[in-house]
Structure 1
Amino acid sequence: MIPAVRKLYNEQFTPEQYQAFLAGIADDTGEAPAFRVAETPVFVPAALGNKLVQACEEIVDVLLRPDFKTITRDAIPASLKVPHENDHPHFIVIDFAVCKDAEDHLVPQLIELQGFPTMLAFQEVMARRFKTHFNIPAGLSNFFNGLDEAAYYQLLRDMIVGPFAPEEVILLEVKPEEQKTRIDFHSTEKNLGIKTVCLTELIQEGKQLYYIKDGVKTRIRRIYNRIIFDDLQHQAESLGAHVNLFQELDVEWITHPNWFYRISKYIMPFIHSDYVPKSWFLHELPVVPADLENYVLKPLFSFAGKGVLIDVTAADIDAIKDPENWILQHKVKYAPAIETPTGPAICEIRMIYIWQDGSARPILVHNLARISKGKMIGVGFNSQDTWVGGSCCFFETGDTK
């Protein structure tokens, strides 16, 4: 999206560089990604970068409302509430589509947000490997707020491991070796020294949790949580015996599971910004718009694009039996903003925040990108294309020549 940088990158790109890039990722993490990694990063010009930051900070202002927990009291399904919720999430990710306004300027439009971690360790690996194998100008950065690789990982250690010994902290997931994001688990283990543990491996004694590390039963003081609890609920019967995470347990959560639901598409109707599409809870919709072709219908308690109706009809709305669990959102039109050798592509940009205990506001630290040439953005929809998939952004911070 920075024309001169894009042109030079495309001209200098070779398939051999790309294969060396992928091999470098595998060397760093111990395995190849289980999803497609794009041939290119996203080069974000300063004007768009400033709008992305502005949009994020306007959303953070909503999260800081003194009545935030009140307005989101119905965001957590009763069956998914976990005890001992803390005051704020430790991680926030905010996803934007890259679009164009009426003046043909690139602008962000909010797609989704979550109080949940993302590929925090792997994104640094990917960005570093892009810089190693391709010509990324010095005036571009994948970090924010003055961070570099060393400071970023120290921040992650402070946030995730904190005052505990690394063996007292685990990354918790359901069947982690079956997850497409497992490359991030491996990167986290390597850089933070904590172990990835499957839910079925937990041992409960009273309110305390343990796991077996190197043959020794080890107390768990803190959980870096990567489980999405509605997914867990759907899988529970097939998992066999496992600890019930919905009970009171003597353990710290980073971040607490309830924040996945409080900070989600549920809060979109409360956010008023030029960069947030107008949204309504379906049961509060004053009138069904005549131009439904310009709207999408989203279930509140389904994630990763599941259940979204892109081509909405009045009959679809009439058929909804639980309108309080849906939002109608103005449709976002992605701009084919990335020129590639095999045709233009669209993208989403995820802005990654960390919120340390004791801090007044979360801080922006890193990013993630998804590039697509189809109707859907997720990396799972792009297996047949090239120059698409998971990626990262380099933001213009200085001279890019």
Structure 2
Amino acid sequence: MTIVDVQAMDSLLREPVDAKEIPGVVAMAADRGGRLYEGAFGVRSLATGVPMSLDTVLWYASMTKALVATGAMQLVEQGRVALDEPIGRIIPALAAPQVLDGFDAAGKPLLRPAKRPITLRHLLTHTSGFGYDIWNASVERYMRENGVPLLVDCKLSSLGQPLAADPGEKWEYGISIDWVGQVVEALSGQSLEAYLTEHLFKPLGMNDTAFIVHPERRARRADVHQRHPDGSLETIDHEISQEPEFFMGGGGLYGTAGDYIAYIRMMLNDGRAPDGTAVLQPETVDLMGRNAIGDIEAGVLRPVLPKLANDTDFFPGMSQKWGLSFLINTADAPNGRSAGSLTWAGLANCYFWIDRTKRLGGVVMTQILPFGDPRVLRLYGAFEQQVYRRLAKAA
């Protein structure tokens, strides 16, 4: 049953498009029973002017992470891997990790053995020590000075990075879930795309979600736009490698807002697909949504590459935790989200939330760099607030 005022929600989403603050947006909200709202406004590309639509294919970027984590947790359920065993048993390249302790006077990286083994739990919670060049200056320098390819190139050597911290000691946002994708492949004997398609996408009807954008989907794909310091927007040539040496589990998927809402509904329904198929066991969904990092704080991002990301703190002043693999707000949030809800985002300003207490979730998806765009974040907050207000009125 629709609970939102469609006209009011349409107006809310259309306003920043008409003001030329964003090129286009797709937004959806859902509860356990189905979609409560869906809308698409603006254009897929400023260069072409093709209208945004509900079936527009967008780059999920790091919204990929939750999907890959779900695949890994299916294998945990099957007893194929334990959360706290050394992952070097499965991925020999991670058996003896090295920590980057800076650089000597000549610029040579200072490496030492990690204090403890990396586990799947470390990888799923971004406490493995692996970082991203976008948010860690030492990682950025190491990659640049040692010729490590960018992740979007999907070269196996892209993963050849030392740790920025010892496993288990801090939340360091990075390439951990790319390694989780390698775990899924090693245990399943399938490519990451084949595994997720069979065990997640098909059961949920996520028919437009994939790493490789085939021609029919390419015709519906939105372009990425770069926002310049003066606020103007430019269409840019941006695509994850379509001839990958590895599937980028941390951010390589493309798909539609409707596909992602199908995933959110599965999580709201305790792991069940619409036809009743168990994608995950209820206890696994519960586990994924609990704090898995103890006293460590998570979620606040301070970039070193401002062209790609802005400073971002989704819940200022609030203790934030991480599950397997979601950001968790520990108190009720101002827009109506319950404490203990799950969320994350994608680099091109795509955002989702899953409120398992109120059984409500949603996505707001654009294709704009840098991440943490204030205009998109305002829209995301207003959209969420409107959904919760309507839910309260319907109660």
Q: Give the TM bin, normalised by the shorter chain.
A: 0.3 to 0.5
TM-score (norm 2): 0.32
TM-score (norm 1): 0.32
Indicate the structure whose relative CO is greater, using CA pairs within 8 Å and at least 6 residues apart: 1
Structure showing greater radius of gyration is 1
